[in-house]
Amino acid sequence: MKFQVTSRKAETIKTEGLTLFHFEGESLAGPVKGLDKILDGKISKAVKSGVFEGKQGQILLIDSLGKAPAEKILVAGLGKKDSVTLEIIRRISGISAKAFRDAGVKNFVTALALADVKGAHTGQLAQGAVEGTSLSLYSFDQFKSEKQKKKIESVTIVSTGAASEPDMAKRVRKGATLSENACRARDLINLPSNIATPTYLANEAKKAAKELGIKCAVFGPKEIEKNKMGGLMAVARGSYEPARFIIMEWMKGPKSQKPIILVGKGLTFDTGGISIKPADRMEEMKSDMSGGAAVICAMRAIAELKIKANVVGLVPSTENMPGGSAVKPGDVATGLSGVTMEIINTDAEGRLILSDALAYAKRYNPDCVVDIATLTGACAVALGGFASGLFGTDEELVGQLKESGEATGERLWPMPLWPEYEDQIRSEVADIKNVGPRWGGAITAAAFLKKHVAGKWAHIDIAGTAYISDKPRSYIPFGGVGLGVRLFVDFIERRLGL
Ligand code: BES
Ligand code: ZN
Ligand code: ZN
């Protein structure tokens, strides 16, 4: 799909489809008003009769029957003017793009004549519209004999308002790059675990590195052992698939600037191990590498956008299987940090593999470390599917991440990390144990990670948000969400003031 920008008047462009926006309860404005006249009042009549009120997500699709240069005109409702946000623009752009696709339109123009959306300028709105469009049209059909036949080929954004055409073009390119990489993350998540193995993830990282000038190293089982990554080794024991530890370095910022480290859980399939999971919906555990996919694809996006920053991505990757040599409840592992860990439940494996990556991060003398992981069902219970859990040791860092969550629509919600929770993972036989009591499971998991960290650190639990298996949303189809890519790029720019 191609995105482009034009500063021509929307009403005058010859096109298969034209998207216009309308606020609920306001009079027709801008290009909507102009087109209403050309179409003999069709839009205003629909508003008057209550057929189309402009409620959020409502759509009015009109065939212009040769009266206007655009063949089909789609008016999308934005809801009440004062409640419209950048996220709503993403969502409505997604809904309209899908409507045009389903109507067989291949090329369309979007008239973003929206000067007054709270807290967002025209360039951001254009970027948001591109993100919503691109993300909503994603489909994963590589294993289907019958492919999605209807495809949008090009989208043209009309440049209006304060931003100049080149500024708009830059924003549009950025939106496209971010969404493409979020969709790559979705592919990695949606691929079954017999294909998306730790080796596959590592090869994806290497491919991206070669293509985009990222430095990349991959440890196999031997190097993992040599590096004393005891948590990763313990989890990998039960699986035939060899483990990988993926390192991606993008050091294009000032030499004196300490790097930001991103850590992602790359568990390519979580059976639970010897503490095996129930069969019901276990197939969804192919998504247990969503954090790893986010980190690999965020690194890609950072390189494609040539962001002047020092960023390192670390992804510990393995399966969690109940093989004959699998780790067993009661076993003790020594992590790279030197902390000894009693493994009470082999299904609490994410914290074991992350602990080594967090300890490894110290070698970079980092500015801060942020990890992202499908870590606990408890976090999904606490927050449902509309926010990821956010933990951390530094208020400023947590605050910046929360702001990025707000800005990208990938919302994060702060959770506590008081010392009482750390007491709950003290072990009788080792330094710590890998599970606490039943309640507060997302927090004791975070407390476990904290034991392996030095300096500023934050943890994002995406167990409830990484994968959609019930109802698809405006710009998020069934399956992998690709969460974290847009979030991390925004966070890095925010933290470094870029
Ligand atoms: N990968 C799971 C967490 C998860 C659950 C992700 C649901 C996505 C959806 C994790 O490894 C796990 O199994 N956690 C256990 C921890 C427990 C044994 C302390 C859990 O949450 O049940
Ligand atoms: Zn598990
Ligand atoms: Zn897991």
Residue 140's identity, in one-letter code, is: F
Residue owning the nearest CA to atom 6 of ligand 1: 463
| Residue 351 annotated in active site | yes
Dist. CA 266 → ligand 3 center (Å): 9
Could you tell me if the CB of 188 is within 6 A of ligand 1? no
Number of C-beta neighbours around residue 195 at 10 A? 12
Residue owning the nearest CA to atom 13 of ligand 1: 347
Secondary structure percentages of the chain, helix, strand, coil, to 5: 40, 20, 40
CA distances for 42 relative to 50, 63, 78, 269, 448, angstroms: 12, 10, 19, 54, 62
Dist. CA 348 → ligand 3 center (Å): 7
382-427 pLDDT, tens digit per residue, is 999 999 999 999 999 999 999 999 999 999 999 999 999 999 999 9
pLDDT for position 262: 99
Atom of ligand 1 nearest to the CA of 436: 19
Could you tell me if the CB of 319 is within 6 A of ligand 1? no
Question: Distance between CA atoms of 425 and 432, rounded to whole angstroms?
Answer: 6
Which ligand is nearest to the Cα of residue 282, counting in written order? Answer: 1
Dist. CA 435 → ligand 3 center (Å): 13
306-359 pLDDT, tens digit per residue, is 999 999 999 999 999 999 999 999 999 999 999 999 999 999 999 999 999 999
Token pair listed for 382: 């606490």
Atom of ligand 1 nearest to the CA of 277: 13
Token pair listed for 286: 């192919």
Instruction: Please determine, for residue 83, whether its predicted confidence score (pLDDT) is greater than 70.
Output: yes
Which ligand is nearest to the Cα of residue 435, counting in written order? Answer: 1
Question: How many CA atoms lie within 13 Å of 241's alpha carbon, on the beta-carbon side?
Answer: 24
- For residue 162, name the pLDDT band (cuts at 50, 70, 90): low
Contact between 271 and 285 (Cβ < 8 Å): yes
Dist. CA 429 → ligand 3 center (Å): 24
Atom of ligand 1 nearest to the CA of 275: 18
Atom of ligand 1 nearest to the CA of 349: 11
How high does pLDDT run on average in the chain? Answer: 97
The proportion of the chain whose per-residue pLDDT surpasses 90, expressed as a percent, equals: 95
Catalytic residue among 286, 300, 351, 411: 351
Question: Distance between CA atoms of 244 and 349, rounded to whole angstroms?
Answer: 15
Q: What is the mean pLDDT of residues 434-455?
A: 98
Dist. CA 375 → ligand 3 center (Å): 6
220-274 pLDDT, tens digit per residue, is 999 999 999 999 999 999 999 999 999 999 999 999 999 999 999 999 999 999 9
DSSP letters spanning 104-129? T--EEEEE------TT--HHHHHHHH
pLDDT for position 113: 67
Contact between 409 and 90 (Cβ < 8 Å): yes
Question: How many CA atoms lie within 13 Å of 422's alpha carbon, on the beta-carbon side?
Answer: 10
Could you tell me if the CB of 463 is within 6 A of ligand 1? yes
pLDDT for position 115: 58
Question: Distance between CA atoms of 211 and 213, rounded to whole angstroms?
Answer: 6
Number of C-beta neighbours around residue 61 at 10 A? 17
Nearest to 172 by CA among 132, 207, 209, 205: 132
Instruction: Please determine, for residue 161, whether its predicted confidence score (pLDDT) is greater than 70.
Output: no
- Radius of gyration over every alpha carbon of the chain, rounded to an integer in angstroms: 24
Contact between 75 and 66 (Cβ < 8 Å): no
Q: What is the pTM assigned to this prediction?
A: 0.98
CA angle, 21 as apex, 17 and 23 as ends, to 5°?
A: 160
95-120 pLDDT, tens digit per residue, is 999 999 999 999 999 998 665 687 88
Strand 368-373 with 457-461, pairing? parallel
Question: Distance between CA atoms of 76 and 94, rounded to whole angstroms?
Answer: 11
Catalytic residue among 277, 328, 473, 494: 277
Dist. CA 225 → ligand 1 center (Å): 25
Residue owning the nearest CA to atom 8 of ligand 1: 463
Which ligand is nearest to the Cα of residue 445, counting in written order? Answer: 1
Q: What is the mean pLDDT of residues 458-465?
A: 99
Strands (E), 90-177: 107-111, 154-158
Which of 347, 448, 459, 467 to mutate for ligand 1's pocket (most ligand atoms within 8 Å of CB)?
Answer: 347
**Residue 352: alpha-carbon gap to chain centroid:** 23
* Residue 204 φ then ψ, to 5°: -60, -45
pLDDT for position 25: 95
**Residue 278: alpha-carbon gap to chain centroid:** 27
Which of 376, 438, 465 to mutate for ligand 1's pocket (most ligand atoms within 8 Å of CB)?
Answer: 376
